[in-house]
Amino acid sequence: MRGDMNSHLPYLTADMAGVGGKIKVSPADFVVEELPLYEPCGEGEHVYLTFEKRDMATLQAINSVARALKINRKQIGYAGLKDAQAITRQTISIFGASPEDVTRLNIPGMTVLAVRRHRNKLKLGHLKGNRFVIRVKDVAPELMGQAESIMARLQADGVPNYYGRQRFGVRHNTHLLGLALIRGDAPGFMAELLGKPHPAENARVQEARAAFDAGDWAGALEKWPPILREEQRVLGRLARSGSLEAALGSLDKRLKRLFVAAFQSNLFNQLLTRRLDCIHRLEDGDVAWIHRNGACFVVESAEEEQPRADAFEISPAGPLFGSKYLPARGAPGQQEQAVLAEVGIEPAAMHVPGAKMDGGRRPYRIPLSEVDLRWDEGLVLRFSLPPGAYATVVLREVMKTDSAAL
């Protein structure tokens, strides 16, 4: 299960050569702008702050705003998370602060663009989508036509709605942590969380993980860097109690939900790869996603519904397994159950104390809109995607290089 994701995921446009190149050479090469689901009404208890940030992750920006306004970070809502290595324009909602105080914010790396009142707190998903302007450098100008052909294919068939590398963490193992949680496998979970040194981490972290693998829990705790606070806290509980189960029980609920979501995401990616050649085609028994409102229904007759898929009104949707997800029927349903069986999980076992696993559906493809290509010190791609979609999915199809891997 460890090696079946990310850079190994197949391309929709595998028959079309990529243009190569590099992304994120500088923050200005990757610009993201949120497309709001609604505009602030001008009154209410929440202050909506629209800002531009550079070299700063969304949660880092939220923490800086909370400190500057002397409020609890839980009073701040946001619609989506944005990368640090980019220029991003997004909106957050703030409860318990005045528009005047918000306007006067002076945080390095952040520029206040607009301050308006509204009645409700922003929540994840309160977005129409995201607009991207991305410069790909080290691309030969004569390959611009190839990039245009790839983008045209993605517009026609849809973009594979893979979950990106961010979902699986620096160590690419959050899905394995989720699987261990579902299985109730405390030793396996702790081995993934605290052991197994990874080359992407610094030497001190690798030394601490090696000590854990050697059974020296106290030594691992002494070496553990404070920046990995949750892992340090769980390791401390383990060193004091000597109980793997007690240490697992102390894990923060938010991390449990994150790990379980990564497990769901990995299974979705696997199923998507099996449908990639017919990503735009419905099958009898499929669950179809209505792009207009996110509703779903079971397809009784693929032949009757296919014209709606051809018009990109609906698309086949894959499962996010959980207690309330809508099962597919027929051949698609059998394929979904087979993926669960491969990891030895029964649908009824999809339960983790402290982590809701309602499940749901996610379309196998997404529309690509507002497409424009130009040349300006590199290949500049402009496009928009629905919320929850990854721009890197588009880039890897166009570039087909390691630097654009999911």
Show which residues are catalytic: 83
Q: Taken in order 292, 296, 299, 302, is the CA torsion positive or negative? A: positive
Q: Taken in order 54, 405, 369, 365, is the CA torsion positive or negative? A: negative
Tokens of 13: 């446009």
Using the CB atoms, write b or e for 275-312: b if 16+ within 10 Å.
bbeebbebbbbbbbbebeeeebebbeebeebbebbeeb
Tokens of 181: 């949680």
CA 15 – CA 12 distance, rounded (Å): 8
- Could you tell me if 379 and 146 are in contact, meaning their C-beta atoms sit under 8 angstroms apart? no
Contacts with 139 (C-beta within 8 Å, 6 or more apart), sequence order: 19, 20, 21, 147, 378, 379
- Start-to-end Cα distance in the chain: 17
**Amino acid in the structure at residue 168:** F
CA 128 – CA 34 distance, rounded (Å): 8
CA dihedral 90, 95, 96, 99 (to 10 degrees): 40
Question: What is the CA angle 315-360-283, rounded to 5?
Answer: 35
CA dihedral 398, 263, 319, 388 (to 10 degrees): -50
Q: Taken in order 362, 366, 370, 375, is the CA torsion positive or negative? A: positive
